[in-house]
Amino acid sequence: MPDRRAAHTPSLRDLADEDLMQLVQRAEAAAFEVVYDRHAGAAFSLAYRMCGARQLAEEVVQEAFLSIWRSGARYDRRRGSVRTWILGIAHHRAIDVLRRGVVQDRHRASDEGLEERFEANDRTDVEVARREEALEVRGALDGLPDEQRRAIELAYYGGFTQSEIAEMLGVPIGTVKGRMRLGMEKMRDRLAPTEVVP
């Protein structure tokens, strides 16, 4: 008896993302593979921009897609495109990975009693400053309203143009520009150095 999935595989690539997600909800591995092929690159790009390391970005993508598969793909088309939904999951996984890294670094430092002394290969002053700066930016970003945060993340972490973001979110480009402008102003205010009055 011929494999029914094999007969469907060539036509899966012609299906819209939303239709593929219905198949993924029914645990159709071939449909999941197509979704992965379409969106893993964008998820990796986002993860890499957030984490700054290839290995961490790969871990984020793996965790994100495992989550999608295990959860039975709880995608709701009323809340945006499949790509936006996947990038949202990747974004949350990247934050988890970054937080785990900070916690592990703190534990390692306190376990060894060497808060200020790391080997040069493990941590340079530049890396420390970069990580602290990234955490400050991340904190400022997390403090924004969801719609502003999402637009900025897609642009700066995902590398998408404002037109692409408008299409992904299903809003006019003017709305995307406005959200980004307001969000950047709020972040600038939050990240501005405070003056110390003598």
- 104-146 pLDDT per residue, tens: 544 444 445 444 444 554 556 666 667 777 777 777 878 888 8
Angle between helices 82-112 and 125-142 (to 10 degrees): 130
The verdict on pTM exceeding 0.75 is no
| Architecture of domain 12-95 in this structure | Orthogonal Bundle (1.10)
- Indicate the average pLDDT of the chain: 77
Written as one letter, the residue type at 189 is D
- Residue 126 burial (10 A CB sphere; 0-12, 13-18, 19+): exposed
Per-residue pLDDT band for 65 (boundaries 50, 70, 90) equals: very high
pLDDT for 39 equals 92
pLDDT for 41 equals 92
| Architecture of domain 122-192 in this structure | Orthogonal Bundle (1.10)
Q: What are the residue boundaries of the structural domains of the chain, listed by start?
A: 12-95, 122-192
**Fold matches, 12-95 and 122-192:** no
pLDDT for 175 equals 92
Euclidean distance between CA atoms 188 and 110, whole angstroms = 33
